[in-house]
Copies of this chain bind each other. A is one copy, B any other.
């Protein structure tokens, strides 16, 4: 049996991040104690301090891991789509799917650095968040350029999409009957077409020739 010691460490570290995310999601950053996390992992408190320098570093690892994974998935999914509406739908579905698969880590990451000084980790997290949002920004801009979207305020549109996705973490439960991606789909439909009925039965969309 290979190397029980070398890999035990990596495994424990991964487990710490996983269980810490659960505790943070449940009780918030300040509310989740190191003792709780250690107990949830099944190790002693000093074990946490062997793998991480302090509590904040554990939290930072959760946030940065979530954000970078989401960006990677989003970019891959978006690149495979032909036009802006399809890209928007893919973006939203991937985001919702990530929430579904990583509920605790996602919620923990959403708690944000409220009340943490975290100059280093916070900076990296903000950078990653901006990069993620830039993907959506690109989709909106492309849609406006090609004429499939008509928006007076692109930034507001970006915020609206992100609001819908981010707020899902507050009410979505992965054990329900409707999967997260399905909700993302419905959101996308409403965002694309609006609440008001579109009068004609939608003839072939007129392409705007510049």
Interface residues of A, Cβ cutoff 8 Å to B:
26-32, 85, 88, 111-112, 114-115, 143, 147-153, 156-157, 159-160, 162-164, 166-168, 170-171, 183, 186-187, 189-200, 206
Contact = CB atoms under 8 A, between A and B. Distances in A.
A195 B191 contact: yes
A152 B188 CA distance: 12
Most buried by B among A30, A88, A195: A195
B196 A193 contact: yes
B187 A160 contact: yes
A159 B29 CA distance: 26
A171 B85 CA distance: 26
Given A156-B186, A187-B160, A195 B192 contact: yes
A194 B150 CA distance: 9
Contacts of A197: 147-150
